[in-house]
C-alpha cells in the first residue's frame, strides 16, 4: 500500500476498534486529516460479526458508571475530553443498574456514521500488512486480534516475542425463550430497579450444575496455544474447577438478591443482563466460556429458567495478543525508537474497552502534537488516563500483564481519608481537577 499524499499530509490510524476510532476522532476535531484503515469485513476475526467500527461483544462492556469506581472515573475523564466513544455510549444507553450499558449495534453504528461523515476522515477498507509504506505519524490500534501479517511486522519491529492471554464472550439468549415461572427481576441491593433477570439455584442444583460444568467438553485449541487466562475474564468452567464455592463468590454470588417467592437469598444466582434496547436479548453475566456449543446448550440448560433457552450467540474464546509495552512505549504511547509511531488499545496491554478508548484518545492527542511539529503533552499522573499511560510505559512494571484501570495504579493521596469509598471519591475529585487544568492548557 503506497501512500498517495506527500509526507505529513495526514496521520494514519490502523484499526477501527475502540482505540482507533477514538484516536481518529481526537485528530479530526483538532483539524488533523486522518486516514483510517480497517480490514473488516474483507478480513474478519474470530470475535467480530459485523462491518461496523467499534464493535462490542457485550452490552455492559463499558462497566460501572460512578466515579468512586475507577472505570467510572475514567469514563468521566473521557467525556471531559470530548470522547466520541462516550458520546456514542450516552446516546445508545440502556438500563443496567449502576453500570453504563449500551445497545451494541446502535453504539457501533453511531460511531461508524459519525466518523465516515467527517470531512477530515478518509476511510480505507483494506488490511494494513506493514508499516514501511506509511509516512508521517502512524497509530497502530489493531487490537488484540491483530492480523498475522501485521503481528509479524510488529514482532520484527519490536524485536521481542509477543505475550498473550485468552479473552472470552458470554452467550446471548432470547428473552422470550426464558421460563418466567422460575426467574425474577431485580438488581443487587435494589440498585437501579429490576434491571437484571435472576435465575436462583438451591444447593443441590448448584452442585449438579458445577459437576456437569467441570466435566463438559471444551473446544479444541491449537497445540501452540498455552492456556493463559486474564483473571478479569475467567471462563466459567475454569472458575468451577478452582473450588466448590468459587462461582458463588464470583458471578453466581447471591448476596443482595432476594427471591420474592421465598423472601430469602438463594444459595446461588445466575444473572442475565439486557443486551439490546428492545430488551429482547440478554447475556449470561460472567459466563465467558470455551465449552463446545452443544455442551453450552446442555449444561447451561440446567440453570433454572434456561431449560428451553434459545441461544442467539454461543460463548466464544479467542487468543489476544499484546506487546511488552513497558519496554517499548513512552508515556504518550509512542514507540521509544520512533516518536512518530504510536500504539493504542489492547495491543498495548490496557485491558477493557473503556481503557482502550482512553489509550486511543491519549495517542490521538500526542499524534496531533507531532503532526503540528510540537512536543506531545502527557496526561497528568493524578488522572485515570495518566495512570494508564504510566502503567504501560513504566520500566518498573515487572511481569507485565493486561490491566484494567483501578485506583491501585493511581498515586495515593498525600493525606488519610476514612473509608474506602470516601478515599476513592477524593482521588476522583483530584483527578478531575487536574484534568480540567490540563485541558485548559492543551487548548492554548
What is the pLDDT, as a whole number, of residue 3? 37
Residue 79's contacts (CB-CB under 8 Å, 6 or more residues apart) are: 86, 87, 90
What is the pLDDT, as a whole number, of residue 229? 62
* Short-list 287, 288, 295, 280, CA closest to 199: 287
Rounded to 5 degrees, what are φ and ψ at 326? -60, -25
According to DSSP, the residues that pair with 343 across neighbouring strands are: 140
- Give rounded-to-5 percent helix, strand, coil for the chain: 35, 15, 50
- The continuous run of DSSP H or E covering 363 comes out as helix 353-371
Taking all residues of the chain, what is their mean pLDDT, rounded to a whole number?
88
The answer to whether the beta carbons of residues 37 and 13 sit under 8 Å apart is yes
**pTM assigned to the model:** 0.76
Q: How far, CA to CA in Å, does 177 sit from each of 268, 316, 336? A: 22, 21, 53
Residue 161's contacts (CB-CB under 8 Å, 6 or more residues apart) are: 155
Residue 304's contacts (CB-CB under 8 Å, 6 or more residues apart) are: 179, 182, 183, 199, 200, 201, 205
Rounded to 5 degrees, what are φ and ψ at 167? -120, 165
d(CA 340, CA 54) in angstroms, rounded, equals 24
What is the pLDDT, as a whole number, of residue 114? 98
What is the pLDDT, as a whole number, of residue 166? 61
Query: In this structure, are strands 196-201 and 184-185 parallel, antiparallel, or unpaired?
Result: antiparallel
Cα torsion 198, 234, 70, 356: sign: negative
d(CA 66, CA 365) in angstroms, rounded, equals 26
Provide the strand spans (E) within 153-204.
163-169, 172-174, 184-185, 196-201
What is the CA angle 229-233-237, rounded to 5? 75
CA max distance for the chain = 72
Other beta carbons within 10 angstroms of residue 432's beta carbon come to: 18
Tally of CA atoms within 13 A in the half-sphere of 246 that contains its CB: 15
Q: How far, CA to CA in Å, does 186 sit from each of 61, 205, 260, 276? A: 20, 21, 9, 18
The answer to whether the beta carbons of residues 268 and 201 sit under 8 Å apart is yes
Residue 125's contacts (CB-CB under 8 Å, 6 or more residues apart) are: 38, 39, 42
Q: Which residues of the chain have pLDDT under 50?
A: 1-6, 223-225
Amino acid at each position: 500500500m503506497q501512500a498517495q499524499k506527500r509526507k505529513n499530509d495526514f496521520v494514519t490510524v490502523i484499526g477501527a476498534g475502540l482505540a482507533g476510532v477514538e484516536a481518529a476522532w481526537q485528530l479530526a476535531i483538532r483539524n488533523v486529516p486522518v486516514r483510517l484503515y480497517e480490514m473488516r469485513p474483507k478480513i474478519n476475526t474470530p470475535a467480530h460479526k459485523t462491518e461496523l467500527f467499534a464493535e462490542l461483544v457485550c452490552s455492559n462492556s463499558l462497566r460501572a458508571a460512578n466515579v468512586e469506581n475507577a472505570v467510572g472515573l475514567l469514563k468521566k475523564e473521557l467525556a471531559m475530553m470530548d470522547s466520541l466513544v462516550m458520546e456514542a455510549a450516552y446516546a445508545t444507553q440502556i438500563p443496567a443498574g449502576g453500570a453504563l450499558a449500551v445497545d451494541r449495534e446502535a453504539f457501533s453504528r453511531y460511531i461508524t456514521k459519525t466518523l465516515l461523515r467527517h470531512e477530515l476522515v478518509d476511510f480505507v477498507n483494506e488490511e494494513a500488512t506493514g508499516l514501511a509504506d506509511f509516512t508521517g505519524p502512524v497509530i497502530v490500534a489493531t487490537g488484540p486480534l491483530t492480523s498475522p501479517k501485521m503481528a509479524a511486522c510488529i514482532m520484527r519491529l519490536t524485536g521481542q516475542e509477543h505475550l498473550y492471554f485468552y479473552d472470552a464472550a458470554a452467550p446471548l439468549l432470547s428473552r422470550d425463550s426464558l421460563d418466567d415461572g422460575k426467574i425474577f427481576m431485580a438488581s443487587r441491593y435494589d440498585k437501579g430497579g429490576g434491571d437484571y433477570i435472576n435465575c436462583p439455584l438451591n444447593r443441590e442444583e448448584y452442585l449438579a450444575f458445577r459437576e456437569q460444568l467441570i466435566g463438559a467438553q471444551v473446544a479444541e485449541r491449537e497445540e501452540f496455544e498455552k492456556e493463559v487466562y486474564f483473571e478479569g475474564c475467567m471462563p466459567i468452567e475454569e472458575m468451577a474447577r478452582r473450588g466448590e464455592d468459587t462461582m458463588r463468590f464470583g458471578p453466581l454470588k447471591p448476596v443482595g438478591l432476594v427471591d420474592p417467592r421465598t423472601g430469602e437469598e438463594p444459595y446461588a444466582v445466575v444473572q442475565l443482563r439486557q443486551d439490546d434496547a428492545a430488551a429482547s436479548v440478554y447475556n449470561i453475566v460472567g459466563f465467558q466460556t470455551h465449552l463446545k456449543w452443544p455442551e453450552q446448550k446442555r449444561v447451561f440448560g440446567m440453570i433454572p429458567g434456561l431449560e428451553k433457552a434459545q441461544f442467539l450467540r454461543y460463548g466464544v474464546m479467542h487468543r489476544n495478543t499484546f506487546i511488552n509495552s513497558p519496554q517499548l512505549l513512552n508515556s504518550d504511547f509512542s514507540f521509544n525508537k520512533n516518536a512518530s509511531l504510536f500504539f493504542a488499545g489492547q495491543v498495548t496491554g490496557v485491558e477493557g474497552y473503556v481503557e482502550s478508548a482512553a489509550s486511543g484518545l491519549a495517542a490521538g492527542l500526542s499524534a496531533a502534537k507531532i503532526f503540528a511539529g510540537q512536543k506531545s503533552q502527557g496526561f497528568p499522573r493524578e488522572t485515570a488516563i495518566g495512570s494508564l499511560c504510566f502503567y504501560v510505559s513504566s520500566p518498573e512494571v515487572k511481569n507485565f500483564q493486561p490491566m484494567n484501570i483501578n485506583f491501585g495504579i493511581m498515586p495515593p493521596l498525600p493525606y488519610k481519608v476514612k473509608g474506602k469509598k470516601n478515599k476513592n471519591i477524593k482521588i476522583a475529585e483530584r483527578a478531575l481537577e487536574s484534568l480540567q487544568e490540563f485541558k485548559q492548557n492543551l487548548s492554548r
